[in-house]
């Protein structure tokens, strides 16, 4: 664990100053006018938000893969990200986005609603298969309602705003978003980290984990609340940013002994690193309008995932 | 404190009012045809299935009232089909047996590794092991927890002959161990000859009910086998070295 944590913490410490300087205008602290102001009010909050969002998504992905005992699992499976997105879309639909706190608030309510729906459907049994199915249903319900909101959008502007927002981005985010997301993500990562030993026991299957004294219902709720906080907060401030939760645990696993508990904190660091780098690249690319971070990560993520599947097929994982 | 008892245990469609009293220091084998309820009984005794009626008593206490950690310290359970999700170090799997105790004490872990002849494998990765090696590692995980009771579902099925006998020797030592009550060993066994030669007591289940219970030579007598398994057989060889052959 220490090796992976040291490695990714070091890389993150290297990447952060570079990311602060990177942008359409490369910052030279000595000569750029208002450098301190740009750093403090634009670059630093955006980079920190990338770290917060990426850290949450990375940890959530590692915990989900451990819980479902499947390297292809993704935090999206619980339907929490689509739920949060639906909440945000509702805010945009009614034009509430003008008020800075209403959109993230609606997104958090959406995430909470998805969690409550999961609880109502599958909460008491604690069975993993039923729960995954329930999550998929919540996800498709939220997706359908989001599509409905788009097709019934009151005007073209709202529709455009919704579609843009669904492809997550960190453009024009500030300290307010950092202060909103950071505590929720930190709490979520802490809960997921606490689930670690139980996830290790789950390596031997649910019956053995239970025979070792693991309360599987408690574990489930630790996971749901942890993923709900990390993913819900991430979607609330950045929109949907896919693939991070799926990819990051695979990048981290070779640097660990592959125990699920040893994967969660390094995955948080590596997720932070990945989103920070991706967001920096998006800023530097010489395009007329900035490429949306969510699109960039999907463009990176899908080929990576195919490569992963090929390796999986050859039994290399 | 030295018994594990089933009191009129009923699990819908699986067990029908099963009553038993198992004693520590003995190797008890659960036998019966497919679907007889052996695994269900074992899982219910381990506290993993909540019975629809009846209860399990550990000593004089109702198992349902135990905190899951306390139960886990005292009952070690090994399921039939091995399942290992990640390619973790073998030693870390065995250390999972210590989880209810909240430690990774080297003593019991090393003892379990030695008992199952796993010294050479402890530094390997879990998914690089053969089926038999995996079965031994998973049993070592149970032993590392030093439970009062070992409840194992077909622990010998994947093992070669040498390791079957080694494992049975080890379980016998565990059952005989110490000045106290010894470990209670409950095994689901399909191989009736292994049950005949190595168990102190055999419980035969059929259709969710106990149909024979006693020392192996009476619980697994040829007429019981004919009635339950519907095959005509006879035992050959001397006591302790019996083999089962067809009657004709």
Closest residue on chain B to A210 (Cα): B48
Say whether pLDDT at A24 is over 80: no
Q: Taking CB atoms and an 8 Å limit, are B75 and A259 in contact across chains?
A: no
Q: Does A260 touch chain B (CB under 8 A)?
A: yes
- For residue B105, the 8-state DSSP code is -
pLDDT confidence tier of residue A162, bands split at 50, 70 and 90: confident
A64 CA: distance to closest CA in chain B (Å): 13
Say whether pLDDT at A124 is over 70: no
Low-confidence stretches of chain B (pLDDT beneath 70): 1, 178-180
| CA dist A234 → A168, A231, A294, A309, B243 (Å) | 10, 5, 12, 27, 66
Q: Taking CB atoms and an 8 Å limit, are A211 and B77 in contact across chains?
A: yes
Q: Taking CB atoms and an 8 Å limit, are A203 and B141 in contact across chains?
A: no
Percent of chain A with pLDDT over 70: 96
Percent of chain A with pLDDT over 90: 43
Say whether pLDDT at A317 is over 60: no
List all residues of chain B from 131 to 160 with a beta carbon under 8 Å from chain A.
138, 141, 145
Q: Taking CB atoms and an 8 Å limit, are A201 and B88 in contact across chains?
A: no
In the three-class reduction of DSSP (H, G, I as helix; E, B as strand; rest coil), residue A186 is classed as helix
Instruction: Identify the pLDDT of residue B192.
Output: 95
Domain count, chain B: 1
Q: Does B88 touch chain A (CB under 8 A)?
A: yes
Instruction: Identify the pLDDT of residue B178.
Output: 55
Say whether pLDDT at A181 is over 70: yes
Displacement of CA B208 from its chain's centroid (Å):
18
Contact A12, A252 (CB under 8 A): no
Closest residue on chain B to A198 (Cα): B99
Q: What is the mean pLDDT of residues A273-287?
A: 90
Burial of A275 (0-12, 13-18, 19+ CB in 10 A): buried
Angle A101-A103-A109 from CA coordinates, rounded to 5° = 100
In 3D space, the residue among A216, A240, A225 whose CA is nearest the CA of residue A193 turns out to be A225
* CA–CA dist A162, A150 (Å, integer): 7
Q: What are phi and psi of A51, to 5 degrees?
A: -65, -45
Strand partners, B15: B11
A70 CA: distance to closest CA in chain B (Å): 8
Structural domain range at position A98: 2-313
Instruction: Identify the pLDDT of residue B97.
Output: 96
Structural domain range at position B90: 3-246
Instruction: Identify the pLDDT of residue B17.
Output: 94
**Contact list, A207 vs chain B (CB under 8 Å):** 43, 48, 77, 79
Scan for tokens 């004693």, then name that residue: B23
Which residues fall within 8 angstroms of residue B76, CB to CB, at 6 or more apart? A211, B97, B142, B143, B145, B147, B149, B150, B151
Q: What is the mean pLDDT of residues A20-39?
A: 79
Q: Render pLDDT for B162-171 as a digit per residue (tens, 0 to 9).
A: 889 888 988 9
Q: Taking CB atoms and an 8 Å limit, are A202 and B141 in contact across chains?
A: no
Q: Render pLDDT for B102-140 as a digit per residue (tens, 0 to 9).
A: 998 999 999 999 988 899 998 899 999 988 899 999 999
CB atoms within 10 A of CB B156: 24
Domain count, chain A: 1
Q: Does A152 touch chain B (CB under 8 A)?
A: no
Contact A289, A169 (CB under 8 A): no
Displacement of CA B117 from its chain's centroid (Å):
19
Say whether pLDDT at A316 is over 60: no
Instruction: Identify the pLDDT of residue A135.
Output: 86
**Contact list, B125 vs chain A (CB under 8 Å):** 258
Pairing mode, strands B149-153 and B75-78: parallel
Q: What is the mean pLDDT of residues A150-171?
A: 85
Instruction: Identify the pLDDT of residue B179.
Output: 52
**Contact list, A215 vs chain B (CB under 8 Å):** 68
ipTM: 0.92
CATH of the domain at A177: 1.10.3470.10
Please spell the DSSP secondary structure of A97-143, one letter per residue.
GGSTTHHHHHHHHHHHHHHHHHHHHHTTT--HHHHHHHHHHHHHHHH
The residue count of chain A comes to 317
Instruction: Identify the pLDDT of residue A260.
Output: 96
B83 CA: distance to closest CA in chain A (Å): 5
Closest residue on chain A to B147 (Cα): A212
- Could you say which of A69, A204, A207 has the minimum Cβ distance to residue B96? A204
CATH of the domain at B81: 3.40.50.300
Which residues fall within 8 angstroms of residue B96, CB to CB, at 6 or more apart? A200, A201, A203, A204, A212, B141, B144
Q: Does B124 touch chain A (CB under 8 A)?
A: no
Closest residue on chain B to A201 (Cα): B96
Query: How many A/B residue pairs have CB atoms within 8 Å?
Result: 71
Instruction: Identify the pLDDT of residue A252.
Output: 93
- Could you say which of B70, B71, B86 has the minimum Cβ distance to residue A203? B86
Q: Taking CB atoms and an 8 Å limit, are A213 and B47 in contact across chains?
A: no
Q: Does B123 touch chain A (CB under 8 A)?
A: no
Q: What is the mean pLDDT of residues A227-256?
A: 91
* CA–CA dist B163, B188 (Å, integer): 17
Q: Does A1 touch chain B (CB under 8 A)?
A: no
List all residues of chain B from 38 to 77 with a beta carbon under 8 Å from chain A.
43, 46-48, 68-73, 75-77
- Could you say which of A197, A215, A258 has the minimum Cβ distance to residue B86? A258
Say whether pLDDT at A163 is over 80: yes
Q: Does B83 touch chain A (CB under 8 A)?
A: yes
Instruction: Name the least confident of A96-100, A259-263, B157-161, B243-247.
Output: A96-100
């Amino acid at each position: 664990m220490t090796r992976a944590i040291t490695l990714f913490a070091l890389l993150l410490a290297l990447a952060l100053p570079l990311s602060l300087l990177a942008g359409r205008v490369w910052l030279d602290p000595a000569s750029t006018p208002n450098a301190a102001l740009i750093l403090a009010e634009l670059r630093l909050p955006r980079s920190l938000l990338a770290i917060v969002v990426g850290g949450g998504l990375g940890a959530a992905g590692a915990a989900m893969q451990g819980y479902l005992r499947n390297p292809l699992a993704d935090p999206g499976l619980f339907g929490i990200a689509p739920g949060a997105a639906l909440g945000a879309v509702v805010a945009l639909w009614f034009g509430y986005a003008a008020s800075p706190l209403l959109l993230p608030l609606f997104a958090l309510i959406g995430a909470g609603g998805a969690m409550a729906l999961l609880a109502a459907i599958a909460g008491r049994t604690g069975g993993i298969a039923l729960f995954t199915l329930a999550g998929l249903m919540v996800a498709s319900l939220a997706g359908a309602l989001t599509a409905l909101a788009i097709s019934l959008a009151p005007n073209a502007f709202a529709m455009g705003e919704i579609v843009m927002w669904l492809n997550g981005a960190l453009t024009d985010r500030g300290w307010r978003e950092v202060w909103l997301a950071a505590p929720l993500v930190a709490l979520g990562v802490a809960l997921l980290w606490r689930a670690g030993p139980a996830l290790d026991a789950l390596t031997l299957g649910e019956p053995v984990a239970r025979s070792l004294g693991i309360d599987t219902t408690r574990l489930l709720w630790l996971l749901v609340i942890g993923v709900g906080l990390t993913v819900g907060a991430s979607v609330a401030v950045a929109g949907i940013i896919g693939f991070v939760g799926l990819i990051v645990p695979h990048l981290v696993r070779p640097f660990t002994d592959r125990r699920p508990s040893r994967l969660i904190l390094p995955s948080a660091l590596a997720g932070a690193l990945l989103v920070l780098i991706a967001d920096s690249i998006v800023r530097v690319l010489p395009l007329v309008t900035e490429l949306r971070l969510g699109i960039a990560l999907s463009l990176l993520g899908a080929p990576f995932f195919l490569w992963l599947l090929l390796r999986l097929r050859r039994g290399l994982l | 404190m030295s018994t594990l008892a089933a009191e009129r245990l009923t699990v819908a469609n699986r067990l029908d009012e099963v009553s038993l009293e198992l004693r520590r220091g003995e190797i008890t084998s659960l036998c019966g045809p497919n679907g007889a309820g052996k695994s269900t009984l074992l899982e219910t005794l381990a506290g993993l299935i909540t019975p629809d009626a009846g209860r399990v008593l550990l000593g004089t206490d109702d198992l349902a009232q135990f905190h899951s950690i306390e139960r886990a310290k005292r009952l070690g359970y090994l399921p039939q089909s091995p399942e290992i999700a990640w390619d973790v170090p073998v030693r870390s799997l065995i250390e999972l047996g210590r989880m209810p105790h909240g430690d990774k004490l080297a003593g019991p872990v090393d003892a379990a590794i030695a008992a199952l002849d796993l010294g050479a494998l402890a530094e390997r990765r879990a998914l690089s092991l053969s089926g038999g090696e995996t079965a031994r590692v998973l049993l070592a995980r149970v032993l590392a927890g030093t439970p009062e009771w070992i409840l194992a579902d077909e622990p010998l099925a994947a093992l070669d002959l040498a390791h079957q006998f080694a494992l049975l020797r080890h379980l016998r030592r565990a059952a005989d161990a110490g000045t106290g009550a010894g470990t209670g060993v409950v095994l689901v066994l399909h191989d009736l000859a292994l049950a005949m030669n190595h168990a102190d007591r055999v419980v035969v289940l059929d259709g969710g009910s106990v149909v024979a219970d006693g020392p192996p030579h009476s619980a697994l007598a040829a007429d019981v086998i004919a009635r339950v398994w519907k095959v005509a057989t006879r035992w050959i060889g001397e006591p302790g070295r019996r083999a089962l052959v067809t009657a004709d």
